[in-house]
Structure 1
Amino acid sequence: MAKRNGSSTLSENVKKKLQSDILTGQYEPGAPLKVLELAKGFEVSVAVVREALTRLATQGLVQQNPNHGFSVKTASEEELNNIIQARLINESEALRLSIAYGDLTWESIVIAVHHKLSQTTEYKEVNEKLVVREEWSEIHRQFHYELIAACPNPVLLDICSNLWDLSEFYRHCSPQQQQVRDGLAEHKALTDAVLSRDGERATQLFRAHIQLTAEVLFDNQ
């Protein structure tokens, strides 16, 4: 671990690493998260690990049971449906506000991150299975966040960020297949609508983009 600058810093480091591992499918849904083993692996105290896991539990990525400790959240089609519905409502509004309030600096960031996403390969093959590359996943997250980053409502942005994490959990715990969709074209059209300040078209494209992703995830459940 990094230099010990206090338990809160250590806890944040552990939280970020565990969150990344969960969201990229390093742990199966429902897998136990043993505090002692994690503490040894991270070379930190049990208290630090417990704090990190408790914070992940508040985000919905970890389940906490008084009798059985901590485990990765389980997956359900009902929850996925609720997450998609919430994203459509909240992220659409955040996108509309971002387009209304964004300045030229925001536009330049959107252009840059879209270019980076378009030049990054999405899948890699591991043990004869397709998996989403971590680099692409992180840039994809950044792309969608930057689209709404100019939204002046920080509470709404926090909601969108938490919903993204939950939807990413489902993306990575679903069997990956090379999809019959043109993700590059979808992202390009969405970027063009945003930069044209066409809020109505941008939200329509965003909703179609998320609904298509939902259909793919439901088919893989």
Structure 2
Amino acid sequence: MASTTATRGEEVYQRMRSDIVAGEFRPGSKLRFAMLTGRYESSASVIREGLARLVEQGLVLSEPQQGYRVAPVSIRDLKDLTLARCAVESQALRLSLEHGDLAWESSLVAAIHALERTPVGSRPSSGDPWPVVHRRFHEILLEGCPSQRLINTALGLRDAGELYRRWSVPADDNGNRDLNQEHRAIADAAINRDAESACSLLEEHLNLTARLLLERGLQEGFLEDSELIESA
């Protein structure tokens, strides 16, 4: 029974996470238990456990007296998040290049091969394979790092960035960016153990995503300067 409950809990958590990342719930919108238990055909306790995990990842906020809501998006937070990701992921990558063995290197080669052969969808969705392959590539980049705490921090920040990436894919695919080339350049520098180039390319990659999203967000109005997006 315990195993069945754990499996069900994982399934509900993954579905909620996929729906949030795919934009099924608007940033800032409230996540009411009555709606969630009906949507995922699950108990309130299972929903609560899934929400707690999403809070840890920065995808959901828990507010006293008010319950849960999808994390809002703002220009200020995106800039802060990007700054933190550049600092943490670069340090983890530097250590990964220093300590990664042949098995790590082989995994990275396989990951970039898979990423280059997976098309980027025009919009993220729960059935889109690219986000999964993309995330795995960035995870493997850091797997040689000997500090699990540093890796966990980097991946936690990447989880928080998923809400923003949900909007950035159209900007990534606007003809002014070659994602495969960006990822290939990072991978090649990592495989060659060129830490300075790899970290610099990674930071450029993260900053470009943020800049394109800011431009599009201000243009289309889903990001307002210093304002959070709230649900109606």
Normalised by the size of structure 2, how large is the TM-score?
A: 0.85
Q: Distance in 2 between matches of 1:149 and 1:97?
A: 9
CA RMSD after TM alignment: 1.9
- If asked which structure has higher relative contact order (CA below 8 Å, sep 6+), I would say 2
- How do 1:1-221 and structure 2 match up within 5 A? 5=3, 7-124=5-122, 131-132=123-124, 134-174=128-168, 176-177=170-171, 178-179=173-174, 180-221=176-217
Q: 8 Å contact 2:95–2:146 — kept in the other structure?
A: yes
SS in 2 for 1:63: strand
Q: Distance in 2 between matches of 1:60 and 1:119?
A: 30
Superposition misfits of 4+ residues, deviation over 4 angstroms: 6-9
SS in 1 for 2:61: strand
Q: Distance in 2 between matches of 1:5 and 1:42?
A: 19
> 1:59 Cα shift?
2.4
Q: Distance in 1 between matches of 2:72 and 2:167?
A: 10
Q: Distance in 1 between matches of 2:190 and 2:16?
A: 33
Deviation string 1:32-57 (CA, Å, 9 cap, x unpaired) is: 21212222333321111122212322
Q: Distance in 2 between matches of 1:197 and 1:117?
A: 20
Deviation string 1:95-147 (CA, Å, 9 cap, x unpaired) is: 001011111111111011101110111123xxxxxx14621111111111111
Q: Distance in 1 between matches of 2:197 and 2:74?
A: 32
Where structure 1 has 5 or more consecutive residues not aligned to the other structure, the ranges are 125-130
Q: How many residues align?
A: 213
Q: 8 Å contact 1:175–1:220 — kept in the other structure?
A: no
Normalised by the size of structure 1, how large is the TM-score?
A: 0.89
Identity %: 37
